[in-house]
Amino acid sequence: MPLNSPVESLVPTVVERLRLKPANSESGFVDGAWWPRSRDLVAEVPELATALAAWTGPVWRVAFSPAGWTVTVSELIYQGRLIRLEGINSQNVHLVHATGGTMRRVSLLVVPPHADLAAAERALAAASGQNNVTSPELLLDESGALGGQTVSTSRESDVSRWESEGGRGGKASVLE
């Protein structure tokens, strides 16, 4: 297939798979959105770390809900640096939190890998919108990124909001 074929131009790049809110935006639940290619966090983190480096500095920690990812290790080395993968049971399954060398933490809506291109685009755009304070569940539901799946908006949403505002989650469970 030629490099500039029409099919290839439909495949999102790293930049299109991660979008962050503009500077000086209201925080809300998320700082932006990320559309990974799979649920294999070990395979996905290097691309995410590269894309976030200018924003957070070198990423050294990614916190996630174990219910949403396939993770086989608790640490990985990327570009000569250690990145801790920390599974937190109380964390919202639709979020990841990445912390970088500048100690800046970024909370990202996770657009499901199976989402179609149009729904993923709507979710990325909404989550990265100036001053957006919509919950992760509502962002995914309104964009159609869940593909008909329903989401819980109960206590999980409250815990997510608390953690996104700097609260401390429950007991951490690191998968090995």
* Spatial distance between the Cα atoms of 64 and 169, rounded to a whole number of angstroms: 11
| Token output for 3 | 């490099």
Confidence of residue 169 (pLDDT cuts 50, 70, 90): very low
CA atoms within 13 A on the CB side of 39: 11
* Spatial distance between the Cα atoms of 96 and 84, rounded to a whole number of angstroms: 13
32 contacts 18 by C-beta, under 8 angstroms: yes
Query: Residue 164 pLDDT more than 60?
Result: no
Residue type, 51: A
Confidence of residue 114 (pLDDT cuts 50, 70, 90): very high
Confidence of residue 64 (pLDDT cuts 50, 70, 90): very high
Instruction: Tell me the pLDDT of the chain averaged across its residues.
Output: 82
Q: Decide the pairing of beta strands 81-87 and 75-78.
A: antiparallel
Confidence of residue 1 (pLDDT cuts 50, 70, 90): very low
Query: Residue 4 pLDDT more than 50?
Result: no
Query: Residue 131 pLDDT more than 50?
Result: yes
123 contacts 114 by C-beta, under 8 angstroms: no
**pLDDT score of 102:** 86
Name the burial class of residue 141, with classes exposed (0-12), middle (13-18) and buried (19+) by CB atoms within 10 angstroms of its CB. middle
**pLDDT score of 147:** 81
Which of 67-71, 121-125, 172-176 has the weakest average pLDDT?
172-176
**pLDDT score of 23:** 85
| Token output for 152 | 């819980």
Query: Residue 24 pLDDT more than 90?
Result: no
What string of DSSP letters covers 110-146?
A: E--TTS-HHHHHHHHHHHTSTT----HHHHHHHHTTT
Residue with token string 């976030």: 52
87 contacts 64 by C-beta, under 8 angstroms: yes
> Which residues lie below 8 Å from residue 167, measured CB to CB, with a gap of 6+?
none
